[in-house]
Structure 1
């Protein structure tokens, strides 16, 4: 016989005939809820309870189940509330926390029992889910009861205050209770705790800051403010809600920093200026970090710093004593720049706006002095001529980079170029340069900064030195044999225009030298037709062999002018300054410097002077110093040179610079007008200034004069209707 297949039929709901079914079932569930709250849940069958709740919903008794739940939980929470309110002192928070933990556990079990109701009946009837219902009832019955609400807030705020005053509190308990408030809803946390907390904190820090500002210096105040800020952020990490961090830190920032910001910055003997003067990097960094938290905080620091640097730089620039030593003057500028670069890097997080403010301050005060371009060139000359003690080539590069920073601040870069060419020429011609690499490195830096035109003549000077060496090799190859025992001659041929040579009076060279010079002239002009040679005796040097009393011999390294003076004493015992001038034709200003270096420098006085004095007059008598002695065989006698130009020389240099600027300004005007064809006067001034500011800042009055000159020469014309409008004439 065939077996019949097993058929699984759909579950048929049993029709409930018992009219008291719902009441009986609810009583079972209600008893279970009581047991859960009384912590006797271990004897309950959760499977059976779940099935009973399931059947109640299934048989349309969901409303009875839900309302019964609300009523039962509310009753339990009222008892819990009374128990919490009865707790005294510190036990209050512990009792509240314990009951809250128990309520959450109970809520979890109840939700598991009523899961089917939660999934079906609650959403379809727009009821509050069981867990959320339990939280709401806890909030309304327990937390918002008249006594508990006020007492909870006061106790929490008191604990915060005690912690602020240095006491140790139970942070774990605080964290649990704050978490309870946030679990009940962010609005509960904000209204019941955060808003009052922020208000109390505002009052606390208002009083705290006032007390500290009256008793602390700026550095100490900032340390305490920083500590308070860190404490509040730590408090947020440990037990407050993270949303409170911005609120509470804003309170600290406003009450402790923003309200007292000007007082702190200008605090006597400890404010920002004193921190800058005393290199208090930690305090400066703390001020930067605290002030950046408030509106305009960094702007205030930046403005005060800029003003102080400007005043400091102005005092340095305008101090007559500092102007006496150009090298020391520039070194102080570099030291000042290094100091504030370190401040910005170390304390101000290398902030770009602070770096720009520093650059602006330096540009302001460096250009207050018309001597700045000259002095920077003199500083470079000193370093490239003498070198830097105990410093390798890499460190020389660092110094040159720092000098280039000062160079960038100069508005009159063409004035620097003028002086730099003079100083470079002297170094090259005298062979007194620390290294050709360093020289070429600086020229490359200038070329990068200002373009090829700025350095083309400087590079031409190096080319001339190389060509001159080759020329001398050719001259010696052709005439070496016939020169015999004649003095050795070395000539540098300089291209007119590349070198900063000025027409100088022809010095009367000694006869022994004149013959050699003539031979070289004939050789050079024979090899190069159409050229002209002019001797620049003021730029040369010589080595002389001299015999003093008791047959002591020395080799003297001197300038060409000094050689001419010394060789007079081969045929004369005594000569006055006036007689020396007539014999040599050396300009009196140069001659006096020569005689000073030959007669008045201790250890190098190969001449004697009567009467002995520092100044030289035309009637002073000079004679050969037979008693001269030196430990060295080779004695270098430098010329007493003016470290800086005299006022008349400076005025003359300025005039030459102004003359050189005229064609540059005119060329810029023509370039602008050629591209624009028609342009209004103020726009011409602006365009020309923009084009030329890399080399110098042209005066608008001078630009106007050059425009007038171009109009006269018919490069431009004025508009017949609008006199301020210019037209380019093709």
Structure 2
């Protein structure tokens, strides 16, 4: 007959595992456990679960409290006073290391998921891991995370270089934090980001419609759409990219359709002569035919390209309109 493991004795052994796993959060992400250590901790948890009296609930609570302690004493202090990109730079490795730590703990405490959590209708060890971080960190700081991510997008939109991999990891974090039937953090980010994008291009459209020719406006819109797509593919999901481009199209082309038609009609009699618009200009306009901008009124006379003029209006990053 196997010897019964007393509660204090068993928890003391499992505490060794917790202390070692927490080193991952203290700057030792490469913490390794030997096969002997793994068997020691796993066997102890197994024995405490199957013996009578069973200490499965005590183990379950200790697993959860170990995660909460890590969040309270390591994660939150590292995040609470950070803002913008510094906040995200802290968040990503913390979440990554937290998951590694929890993975090791779930291996040691893993027998709980064999029968105990199911029979007691409790969250699995992995769900406990995510839920602790969601409740203690994401619920509290999501607004700051979201705004910092949108700030990075705006910085890149204004010509600054950003860490795209960092931004992608933050959006992946929002997906990880999703909870069935409750707040969807990625969708919340996406909605705010799209609203912010709409405001940005609404302002641009108002400026350009007053100051630019019809040809300049259309080519700027085309350049912006290409740039947005090129940037977004590095961090947004496919559906997010589609929504983003629709917002940009709506603000730059659909919202200004009537004014663009008026501008084209007013300039049509001398546009080709004055600007020598590129020969493939009609092909460019055809991309927006689905927006019903009275296609026949959008047509302009094809003529030989003026390379210097085309470069000037097709590459507005050359200080043509970057001021917000």
SS of aligned partner of 1:127: coil
Aligned position for 1:264: 260
1:198/1:89 CA distance change after superposition, 3 Å: closer
Q: Which runs of 5+ in 1 are unaligned?
A: 1-12, 310-338, 340-730
Post-superposition shift, 1:168? 0.9
1:116 and 2:111 correspond: yes
Equivalent of 1:64 in 39, 58, 64 = 58
SS of aligned partner of 1:240: coil
CA distance in 2 between counterparts of 1:100 and 1:90 reads 15
Aligned position for 1:558: none
Q: Choose between structure 1 and 2: higher strand proportion.
A: 1
1:236 and 2:267 correspond: no
CA distance in 1 between counterparts of 2:268 and 2:9 reads 81
* CA contact 2:85–2:152 (8 Å) conserved in 1: no
* CA contact 2:42–2:109 (8 Å) conserved in 1: yes
Aligned position for 1:161: 154
Aligned position for 2:144: 151
Aligned position for 1:37: 22
Aligned position for 1:52: 44
CA distance in 1 between counterparts of 2:33 and 2:93 reads 23
Post-superposition shift, 1:87? 4.0
CA distance in 1 between counterparts of 2:269 and 2:94 reads 58
Aligned position for 1:85: 80
Aligned position for 2:280: 282
User: Root-mean-square deviation (CA), in Å?
Assistant: 3.0
Higher RCO (CA-CA < 8 Å; seq separation 6+): 2
| 1:607-618 matched pairs, under 5 angstroms | none
1:113/1:243 CA distance change after superposition, 3 Å: farther
Post-superposition shift, 1:274? 7.4
CA distance in 1 between counterparts of 2:150 and 2:260 reads 30
Post-superposition shift, 1:301? 0.9
CA distance in 2 between counterparts of 1:139 and 1:232 reads 31
Give CA deviations for 1:211-237 in whole Å, capped at 9, x if unaligned. Answer: 111122222212221222222222331
* CA contact 1:78–1:142 (8 Å) conserved in 2: no
Aligned position for 1:388: none
CA distance in 1 between counterparts of 2:146 and 2:83 reads 15
Give CA deviations for 1:672-724 in whole Å, capped at 9, x if unaligned. Answer: xxxxxxxxxxxxxxxxxxxxxxxxxxxxxxxxxxxxxxxxxxxxxxxxxxxxx
CA distance in 1 between counterparts of 2:234 and 2:125 reads 30
Equivalent of 2:9 in 24, 30, 46 = 24
CA distance in 2 between counterparts of 1:234 and 1:139 reads 31
Give CA deviations for 1:470-509 in whole Å, capped at 9, x if unaligned. Answer: xxxxxxxxxxxxxxxxxxxxxxxxxxxxxxxxxxxxxxxx
CA distance in 1 between counterparts of 2:64 and 2:270 reads 69
CA distance in 1 between counterparts of 2:221 and 2:114 reads 53
Q: TM-score by structure 2 length?
A: 0.77
SS of aligned partner of 2:222: helix
Equivalent of 1:134 in 129, 132, 136 = 129
Aligned residues: 286
* CA contact 2:138–2:177 (8 Å) conserved in 1: no
Q: TM-score by structure 1 length?
A: 0.36
CA distance in 2 between counterparts of 1:262 and 1:156 reads 35
| 1:484-499 matched pairs, under 5 angstroms | none
1:230/1:28 CA distance change after superposition, 3 Å: farther
